[in-house]
Chains A and B, each alone.
Chain A
Amino acid sequence: MSEDYLWDGSGEQDVEVAKLEEQLRPLRWAGAPISTNRQKSAKRTSFPYWAIAALVCLCTGAAFLYGRFASRTSWTVAVGGAKAAAVRTGQVIETSHALKATLQAESIGSVAMETDTRIHITEASRRGERFRLDHGTIHALIWAPPAKFVVDTPSAVAVDLGCQYTLSVAKDGSGFLSVESGWVAFEARGIESFIPADAACTTRRGQGPDTPRFIDAKPELIAALTLFDVEAKDEALDAVLAAARPRDGLTLWHLLKRTKGGQRDRVYSRLAQLVELPETASRAAILEGDMPAFDAAWNALQLGDTNWWREWKRRW
């Protein structure tokens, strides 16, 4: 049956689609006019001005320490519910053990900084926005176009693909990223990881991003994966494969790209048991490293089509 009816209602009617439309129509938006008689959200708590002054002094002082800062960016930084201050390129913003802060730019998104966190605003231009997270934790909600917002960490680069995520960096430069919505790509030294919602990835200084996995993966898979990422030994890989569920196809797909020879063959066997792979993702093609075959295997994971990130990948 033609897909045209599903696409734009043209062509021969798809009976099942039409039936679903009929069943679901009562749930459709009613289009009621906006009522402006709504209570404001919880009253903002006042914040001691001395703390704001302290944060601003910290920003300004840090800026002097790191050299003159340049142009004003579209970002502002605020502490609690207090009025936001402008942020400039080159500026360093660091929160203390008692203070959190939020950076906002209407065209890009918001970045909430936890305590003990340091961010360096390295670029803010039409080309894109780039921060460096030296240490600490940020929660980012980004609505800028894909790949416009990038965060450098000591161990990898996180490229936003339209999402909400939490990124932490320890003082030794290792990092942890978990995605709440959308996608993030992590890249370093030619190693890529694509992390969808409800998945996470660690990074290690000098090594780049580890293999992503879903947050609800079995503990034995997570433990074995951590070992494999460090040592690449067969025993650890076998433990990962044994603990994998169909949903862990995400992890296995990344392992296909990070293994060779016999290890890749075993990963492929397990993936084929858990996920219905198309003919275009044949064992031979995957073992040869054929990119279209990898794309086909990815599409079989039902996490979304590769077309969506091919669009931005050219800008990588």
Chain B
Amino acid sequence: MTATPDVQIAEAALVRAAQGGDRAAFGALYQRYGGVIHGVLLSRVPFADAEDLTQEVFLKAMERLPGLREIEAFPAWLFAIAQRMAVDHSRNRKLICDPAQLPSKSPGPDSQAFTVLSAIRELAEAYRDPLTLRLVEGLTGPEIAERTGLTPDSVRVNLCRGMKLLRERLEDKRR
């Protein structure tokens, strides 16, 4: 874990309280990790499904949280639930990466956002997640390290390498 001791202690207290049925504590965890889980899902499932699936991840987590014995494993545990749900979800439907397949008058994000997201999705997993969390969800590198359990060094390297590859992909798409 790379979180500061104060953050670790506060988070451990939240997880324990949530395990005991404290809805407010669980709500705080939802607010803290919602963006992370949404970002992780966004690099794996269609945009239209990511918000709903984020909620389902947390509902599943709420159900299973009493069984979690290693409190410090909470981020990795939550992340694994999200990964599993993404895999199950993708098995049940075709992943839409091609912005051309979107309805021509869809409200919300324009096709350029989806073009960029599509380029991020083409990258290796090690780069996809940090880039989505940084560029879409707006987390800083230290926040990504803190909430995913990765070391700051790993996050920094993967952000930099990933960004270089993303620039190249986007340049290729413009040609």
Contact = CB atoms under 8 A, between A and B. Distances in A.
A11 B76 CA distance: 31
Given A26-B113, A35-B55, A164-B84, A3 B68 contact: no
A144 B158 CA distance: 22
Interface of B: 27, 30-31, 34-35, 38-39, 42, 47, 50-51, 54-56, 58-59, 64, 67-70, 73, 76-77, 79-81, 83-84, 87, 108-110, 112-113, 116-117, 123-127, 134-138, 140-142, 149-151, 153-154, 156-161, 163, 165-167
A77 interface: no
A23 interface: yes
A27 B42 contact: yes
Interface of A: 3, 6-9, 16-17, 20-21, 23-32, 34-36, 38, 74, 106-107, 109, 141-145, 162, 164, 180-182, 196-197, 299, 302-305, 307-308, 311
A38 B161 CA distance: 40
B138 A21 contact: yes
Contacts of A74: 69
3 A-B pairs with least C-beta separation: A143-B80, A304-B126, A106-B67
A106 B59 contact: no
B124 A304 contact: yes
A16 B67 contact: no
A284 B30 CA distance: 52
A16 B73 contact: no
Contacts of A17: 135, 163
Nearest to A308: B154
A106 B64 contact: yes
11 contacts: A3-B159, A6-B163, A9-B140, A23-B116, A26-B113, A29-B35, A34-B58, A74-B69, A182-B125, A307-B157, A308-B154
B80 A142 contact: yes
Contacts of A144: 70, 73, 76
Task: Pick the most buried of B38, B80, B138: most chain A CB atoms within 10 A of its CB.
Answer: B80
B151 A181 contact: no
Nearest to B136: A24
Given A34-B27, A143-B76, A164-B87, 20 more contacts: A6-B134, A7-B141, A21-B138, A23-B112, A23-B113, A24-B113, A24-B136, A25-B138, A27-B136, A29-B38, A29-B39, A29-B50, A34-B59, A38-B56, A196-B124, A299-B161, A302-B165, A304-B125, A304-B127, A308-B126
Contacts of A27: 42, 47, 109, 113, 117, 136
A34 B153 CA distance: 34
A26 B114 CA distance: 10
B79 to A, nearest CB: 7
Given A7-B141, A30-B51, A145 B76 contact: yes
Contacts of A38: 55-56, 59
Given A141-B84, A303-B126, A307-B154, A28 B73 contact: no
Contacts of B134: 6
Contact of B161 (A162, A181, A305): A305
Given A26-B113, A28-B35, A107 B70 contact: yes
A100 B167 CA distance: 47
Contact of B73 (A24, A36, A143, A308): A143
A311 B125 contact: no
Contacts of B73: 107, 143-145
Given A34-B58, A38-B55, A143-B76, A3 B160 contact: yes
Contact of A8 (B55, B59, B137, B141): B141
A37 to B, nearest CB: 11
A109 to B, nearest CB: 7
Contact of B34 (A9, A31, A180): A31
Given A16-B167, A106-B77, A8 B138 contact: no
A197 B125 contact: yes
A181 B125 contact: yes
